[in-house]
Amino acid sequence: MEASPTSKAFATDYKAKYGQEPDLYAAWSYDAVLVFAEGMKKAPALKPENIRKGILSIQKFQGAESELNFDQKGMERVAMSKEELMRDLQAKAMKLRRESLFVMKEMGMGWLGGSFSSADFVTALFFYRMRHDPKKPQWSERDRLIISKGHACEVFYAALAEAGYIPREELKTYSHCGSRLQTHVDCRTPGIDCSGGSLGLGLSFAVGAAIGAYISPDEENLKADVRHREARFRVYCILGDGECNEGQVWEAAANAFHYRLDNLTAIVDNNRFQSTGPVEKKMNMLSLGEKFRAFGWETREIDGNDLSEVIDTLDWALTVKGRPQAIIAHTIKGKGFPSLENTNCHFIKITDEILKTGLEALKG
């Protein structure tokens, strides 16, 4: 058994009561009761389904045997070490960039800059943070991911294929007539929660969904004031920095604070370029971090291409109570493609040369 303080305390108490060292079965039974009690604490009402949901949401619970993590399937995930996790996610982020290049090649042009700048936090969301099930894309309690900057869709399609929402072969259909993979994210694709393309709308959608997470449409007692319960799911919304020119982003920001939506995390892909040039020159919005802060959001500014920082910040977001969280991810446009990094590669032709150079840079 791991010698955590909890295990040591358990071993001491057990020996004092029963006169012998506890074995694994004793520790498991003890943890099972603790887990059940924790599920009861999390449940808004002491009904079987509520307790079950409470148990499934348990993360980083220190048991006598080990740290316990549950996922929506009820399986205990064995906690990876941070190093193993980083290696795994970094490999995935590279893979998403490579795959997204192939996706872009189908159309012969693509939003390379934004797909590459966001690949790291997209990886962290899909493969570390979000509660979701690729086999049940319509699962009502899934975490929502609103891709408000709906144009850099290539990296998302790569993520959907990697996660198992769509078969990898389907990536070849991108941008072709009749495809489920449209040139901006679209609800017809399993795994996409809100169609994109019209900038500035996604954060509002995310606010509506986040409010909805705090009420249950199946509430038996229709007359109850049910706001003070745990959110059924979290909502993540990815915005572009140029997108924050749109006024509606700020309508949504005001509402998110007003309604205390602590289950809402916005991630701004702050890669400093918008469609026709650098953000600062086109429409200088000064500090987006300060703006979100001024709207009452708990805000962090991070290196959005440092997976370790991304993971830590997504973990931090879970701990915030009573306010929405804004993560200003300072990223490099085209990150991972050295000759294009920090240039306005917002939407470029994908020639055979670009494909070759990109794949070279993203090897292993």
Partner 1 sequence: MKSRFLRKTRDVSESMYAGHNRALIDLAEKNGKIVCCYADFPPGQVGEVFQKQFPDRIIDVGIAEGHLISSAAGLADAGFIPFTHCHALFALGRGYNQIRHNVAYDHRNVKIVLCNSGVAWGGIGPSHLAIEDFAALRAIPNLVILSPSDAVSAGKATLAAADYAGPVIIRLPAVGAVYPTLYTNDLKFEIGKAICVHEGEDVAILATGIMVNDALMVAETLKKDGIRARVLDIHTIKPLDERAVLSAARETGAIVTVEDANILGGLGGAVAELTAEKCPVRMKRVGVKDVFGESGTSEEIKQCCELTPPFIQEAVQEVLKAKKGNVASKKRKTPRR
**What is the nearest approach in angstroms of partner 1 to the Cβ of residue 249?**
9
DSSP string for residues in 217-249: TT-S-TTS---SS--SS-EEEEEETGGGGSHHH
DSSP type of residue 187: T
The reply on whether position 265 binds partner 1 by CB under 8 A is no
- Residue closer to partner 1 (CB basis): 117 or 263: 263
Q: Which 266-295 residues touch partner 1, going by CB under 8 A?
A: none
Please choose, from the candidates 39, 66, 105, 147, the residue with its C-alpha nearest in 3D space to the C-alpha of residue 359: 105
Percent of the chain that is helix, strand, coil (3-state, to 5): 45, 10, 45
The reply on whether position 44 binds partner 1 by CB under 8 A is no
Please choose, from the candidates 358, 363, 288, the residue with its C-alpha nearest in 3D space to the C-alpha of residue 101: 358
Residues 6+ apart with CB under 8 A from 131: 57, 71, 72, 141, 142, 143, 233, 234
Among 112, 153, 210, 244, which residue sits at the site for partner 1 (rule: CB under 8 A)? Answer: 210
The reply on whether position 30 binds partner 1 by CB under 8 A is no
Phi, psi of 325 (to 5 degrees): -115, 135
The reply on whether position 254 binds partner 1 by CB under 8 A is yes
Sign of torsion over alpha carbons 74, 78, 81, 84: negative
Spatial separation of the C-alpha atoms in residues 256 and 102, rounded to whole Å: 37
Contact 268, 176 (CB under 8 A): no
**What is the nearest approach in angstroms of partner 1 to the Cβ of residue 290?**
21
- Please list the residues that pair with 329 across neighbouring strands: 269, 302
The reply on whether position 153 binds partner 1 by CB under 8 A is no
Among 207, 244, 267, 340, which residue sits at the site for partner 1 (rule: CB under 8 A)? Answer: 207
The reply on whether position 255 binds partner 1 by CB under 8 A is yes
**What is the nearest approach in angstroms of partner 1 to the Cβ of residue 225?**
5
**What is the nearest approach in angstroms of partner 1 to the Cβ of residue 197?**
7
Contact 243, 149 (CB under 8 A): yes
Segment contacting partner 1 by CB under 8 A, of 108-116, 140-148, 153-161, 320-328: 140-148
Please choose, from the candidates 267, 309, 270, 311, the residue with its C-alpha nearest in 3D space to the C-alpha of residue 287: 270
Q: Which 300-359 residues touch partner 1, going by CB under 8 A?
A: none
Segment contacting partner 1 by CB under 8 A, of 2-10, 54-62, 81-89, 195-203: 195-203
Q: Which 3-22 residues touch partner 1, going by CB under 8 A?
A: none
The reply on whether position 178 binds partner 1 by CB under 8 A is no
The reply on whether position 211 binds partner 1 by CB under 8 A is yes
With CB under 8 A as the rule, give the number of residues binding partner 1.
42
DSSP string for residues in 53-76: HHHHT--SEE-SSSEE-B-TTSPB
Pairing of strands 348-349, 109-110: antiparallel
- Residue closer to partner 1 (CB basis): 136 or 258: 258
**What is the nearest approach in angstroms of partner 1 to the Cβ of residue 215?**
5
- Residue closer to partner 1 (CB basis): 134 or 212: 212
Please choose, from the candidates 55, 63, 56, the residue with its C-alpha nearest in 3D space to the C-alpha of residue 9: 63
**What is the nearest approach in angstroms of partner 1 to the Cβ of residue 235?**
8
Among 72, 216, 245, 357, which residue sits at the site for partner 1 (rule: CB under 8 A)? Answer: 216
By three-state DSSP, how is residue 211 classified? helix
**What is the nearest approach in angstroms of partner 1 to the Cβ of residue 195?**
5
Contact 85, 311 (CB under 8 A): yes
Per-residue x/- mask for partner 1, residues 217 to 236, rule CB under 8 A?
xxx--xx-xxx----x----
- Residue closer to partner 1 (CB basis): 185 or 310: 185
The reply on whether position 204 binds partner 1 by CB under 8 A is yes
The reply on whether position 45 binds partner 1 by CB under 8 A is no
Interaction site with partner 1 (CB under 8 A) = 140, 144, 146, 187, 193-195, 197-198, 200-202, 204-219, 222-223, 225-227, 232, 247-248, 251-252, 254-255, 258-259
